[in-house]
A and B are shown apart, each in its own frame.
Chain A
Amino acid sequence: MKVAVRVRWRNAAGSIAVLVLIAVIAYGLPAIDRLLPAEQRIEPGQRIEIGYNVSVLPPDGARLDVAQTRPRQGILTLRIRDVTLWLRASDYSGTLGDALSQLQEEMERRSDVRVSLSTDWITTGQGIRGLRGTYTASGRRGHYAVFVAYGRRVDVLTRGQRLNSKVSWEDIEGCIQSIFFGSGM
């Protein structure tokens, strides 16, 4: 009987040890991640690679969100005061109109945003024409834009912009217009 009780206690101790190790891995690592600052300073005038040989010139004071940036997936995330500027480059074989529809669908599918279907033209410093629009979501507003050139596509999205934000579209328009499609890959 005593042996059975001892075996059960050892079993309980082993199970607790497994749970502790699981907690350390599954919750400890995210805790350490949260403790470390995610934003890195960008030197003024420093051009940043989005991926797929596409680059952008962030505005002065912008910071790089290293946790949300995935160069191999062509994703770059910048923080401009209270606004997040998200850029994604990828290979693309469709038209600008198709790209716009896909981006709008993706935005509506993955979050509770309302996308405005009316769009305006926007042109980069390189002379590449894209389309831009706006969206709203629970007390926030944002902008989106899409460019297609040289078999590649760049999606741009602003996030976290409050209705009374001090960051205007003009503040980030310059950054978007600095998008540059490098030749080849």
Chain B
Amino acid sequence: MTVTRPIRVRPAPLTRNRALVPKQPAFWVTVGLLAFGAWKIGTVVISLVSWYPGPALVAGMLFLLYTVPFILLVSHVDYLEREPFSLLTVALLWGGLVATSLALPANSAGRNIVAKLTSPWTGDSWGPALTAPPVEETLKALGVVMIVLLARSHINSVVDGFVYGAFVGLGFQVVEDFTYAVGAVADADGSGSGDLLSPVFGTFVVRGFLGGLWTHTMFTALAGAGIAYAVVHTDYSRRRRIMVALLALVGACAMHFVWNAPWFMDGFDLGLGGLVLALIIKGLPGFIVVILLLRYALEIEADFYTPRLVELNDPEIITPGEAKALRSVAGRIQARRYARRRAGPRAGRAVRLLQRAQTRLAVELARGAHLEEQPTVRLPLLASVVERRGSARERRRREVLQARERLRRFGITEAVAPQSASSRTWVGMWALGVGLIGLLAPGPSVGAVGLGLWGLYRTRHSSEEADKRVVDGLVLGCLGIALWTITFVLRHVNG
């Protein structure tokens, strides 16, 4: 009897095919749209630079540098099965050129329609919240759809959708923030201010730092995850997959709506501090929801890849402790830090090399494994490919052994950090759930704190292992109480 496991991660293709294939119609459609976007956005950028060359140059450099930490962060997330550079570049360019250039006339028209159907005052206040989310989120999500059309075999898990979506969103965010920064310069110039650089730095701080984490990058990451779900989970019905993708898009639009809505625009009349608080209140709840979804998707991906190594039952390749550490960003970082503390920075680097080698072997083991299990694909044509993969696996295996040997030279036999085990309890689940709801509405945060404290009390007075979600729920509850208290006090103080 064959047991069919649900498909949560689709393995990498058997052959290491090129990500961009000019024979595909999608390739030429993408090239055409990127050229169109480059022409449109190029025209806007050239006119902005010609009006305010100095501030525009500073803004351009700041927002280009701004992409570096984001790309590093996303590469940490995309650790196990990395995406090709060419596709990530296409995603970034789609967001920065195609989505932005097409959104410009559509957003303006949408705002006008709202103004014409209501009043210019409503159109001005609510137009950006009502029209920009569906317009921009759809245009950005289409970037992830194009990636699917360009290289469907490279969408192997929901995490891949997060990564491509985040890159599309990042491209959009950088170009949009650049235009906002130079627009702020024009406003300052019009108001008689001689200082034209302060608006650039002000826009960078507010839109880059304070709003950067929870705007376009996050919105499109969520929409991209939904598209990847529809592509990967082929064991579910088409209807269900489309519904999930649409739900993710609606979620992205909802977060964008909250972000653009004219709520708390006065910053509680508290100047920059009030504005920061308003941005946190509007952005943080959605950010936490997306991070938790991403964590769940990462766990599923890790559950797919790391058992491939464990199944080898070879402690030279991986130990159970290392497999556990390899599953999460925190686990990997803790193992490196522990090695660094014990034997210096080079030991930390040796752990990193071992983890990378183990990951490559895991992906190689998964590559085409599903095809080998099926007798129908044992065709002569594929035999040579399977043989090639065999030699590739052997190469990856040797890399792991070499990395292990290098680590041993530092007196470290296992790349793990000692830590207490965690369990899953219903108190933890409730604390986390209620804590999340508490960020969206006042009141439940108190319940989350209560549940969290009770969970900690139970752990201390029983033989149960600690549940991390109890602490997560407690922290979210405290955060919710703090946010809503500050909101209430500020509202009360300012009448």
Q: Interface on A for B, CB 8 Å cutoff?
A: 8, 11-12, 14-15, 18-19, 21-22, 25-27, 29-30, 32-33, 36-38, 40, 64, 66-67, 69-73, 90-94, 98-99, 102, 106, 109, 153
Task: Let me know if B106 and A90 touch, CB within 8 A.
Answer: no
Task: Let me know if B109 and A22 touch, CB within 8 A.
Answer: no
Please tell me which stretch of B80-88, B185-193, B441-449 contacts chain A, meaning at least 4 of its Cβ atoms lie within 8 angstroms of it: B185-193
Give the interface centre of B105, B109, B124, B189 by most chain A CB atoms within 10 Å. Answer: B109
Given contacts A66-B112, A67-B115, A92-B192, contact A29 B25 (CB under 8 A): no
Given contacts A25-B106, A32-B109, contact A38 B116 (CB under 8 A): yes
Can you name the residue of chain B whose Cβ is closest to the Cβ of A22? B102
Q: Interface on B for A, CB 8 Å cutoff?
A: 23-26, 29, 33, 51, 102, 105-106, 108-110, 112-113, 115-117, 119-121, 123-125, 131, 135, 138-139, 142, 145-146, 148-149, 187, 189-193
Task: Let me know if A66 and B149 touch, CB within 8 A.
Answer: no
Can you name the residue of chain A whose Cβ is closest to the Cβ of B25? A12
Task: Let me know if B193 and A93 touch, CB within 8 A.
Answer: yes
Bound state CA distance, A90 and B184, in angstroms? Answer: 13
- Contact residues in B for A14 (Cβ distance below 8 Å): 26, 145, 148-149
Can you name the residue of chain B whose Cβ is closest to the Cβ of A14? B149
Task: Let me know if A25 and B139 touch, CB within 8 A.
Answer: yes
22 residue pairs bridging A and B, Cβ less than 8 Å apart: A11-B26, A12-B25, A14-B145, A15-B25, A18-B145, A21-B142, A25-B138, A25-B139, A26-B102, A26-B106, A29-B110, A30-B105, A30-B109, A33-B110, A36-B113, A36-B116, A38-B116, A64-B120, A90-B190, A93-B191, A94-B192, A98-B192
Can you name the residue of chain B whose Cβ is closest to the Cβ of A77? B120
- Contact residues in B for A19 (Cβ distance below 8 Å): 29
- Contact residues in B for A93 (Cβ distance below 8 Å): 191-193
Task: Let me know if B113 and A106 touch, CB within 8 A.
Answer: no
Bound state CA distance, A162 and B193, in angstroms? Answer: 35
Can you name the residue of chain B whose Cβ is closest to the Cβ of A32? B113
- Contact residues in B for A94 (Cβ distance below 8 Å): 191-192
Task: Let me know if B102 and A99 touch, CB within 8 A.
Answer: no
Task: Let me know if B192 and A67 touch, CB within 8 A.
Answer: no
- Contact residues in B for A71 (Cβ distance below 8 Å): 120-121, 124
Can you name the residue of chain A whose Cβ is closest to the Cβ of B26? A15
Other A-B pairs, 5, CB within 8 Å; known A66-B116, A99-B192: A15-B149, A25-B102, A25-B106, A33-B108, A66-B120
Bound state CA distance, A75 and B23, in angstroms? Answer: 51
- Contact residues in A for B193 (Cβ distance below 8 Å): 93
Task: Let me know if B112 and A33 touch, CB within 8 A.
Answer: yes
Task: Let me know if A102 and B149 touch, CB within 8 A.
Answer: no
Min Cβ gap B239→A in Å is 18
Task: Let me know if B138 and A21 touch, CB within 8 A.
Answer: yes
Given contacts A29-B135, A70-B120, A102-B192, contact A18 B102 (CB under 8 A): no
- Contact residues in B for A91 (Cβ distance below 8 Å): 191
Min Cβ gap A29→B in Å is 4
Can you name the residue of chain A whose Cβ is closest to the Cβ of B51? A109
Task: Let me know if B142 and A36 touch, CB within 8 A.
Answer: no
Min Cβ gap A97→B in Å is 11
Bound state CA distance, A136 and B11, in angstroms? Answer: 68
- Contact residues in A for B187 (Cβ distance below 8 Å): 90
Bound state CA distance, A73 and B105, in angstroms? Answer: 19
- Contact residues in A for B121 (Cβ distance below 8 Å): 71
Task: Let me know if A30 and B106 touch, CB within 8 A.
Answer: yes
- Contact residues in B for A26 (Cβ distance below 8 Å): 102, 105-106, 139
Task: Let me know if B25 and A11 touch, CB within 8 A.
Answer: yes
- Contact residues in B for A32 (Cβ distance below 8 Å): 109, 113
Task: Let me know if B116 and A29 touch, CB within 8 A.
Answer: no
Bound state CA distance, A11 and B21, in angstroms? Answer: 12
Task: Let me know if B109 and A29 touch, CB within 8 A.
Answer: yes
Bound state CA distance, A36 and B124, in angstroms? Answer: 17
Give the interface centre of B33, B113, B125, B190 by most chain A CB atoms within 10 Å. Answer: B190
Bound state CA distance, A66 and B149, in angstroms? Answer: 41
Min Cβ gap A91→B in Å is 5
The one of B23, B110, B112 that contacts A8, using a Cβ cutoff of 8 Å = B23
The one of A12, A22, A38, A72 that contacts B125, using a Cβ cutoff of 8 Å = A72
Bound state CA distance, A153 and B190, in angstroms? Answer: 10
- Contact residues in B for A90 (Cβ distance below 8 Å): 187, 190-191
Min Cβ gap B438→A in Å is 32
Min Cβ gap A129→B in Å is 18
Given contacts A11-B149, A25-B102, A25-B106, contact A36 B29 (CB under 8 A): no
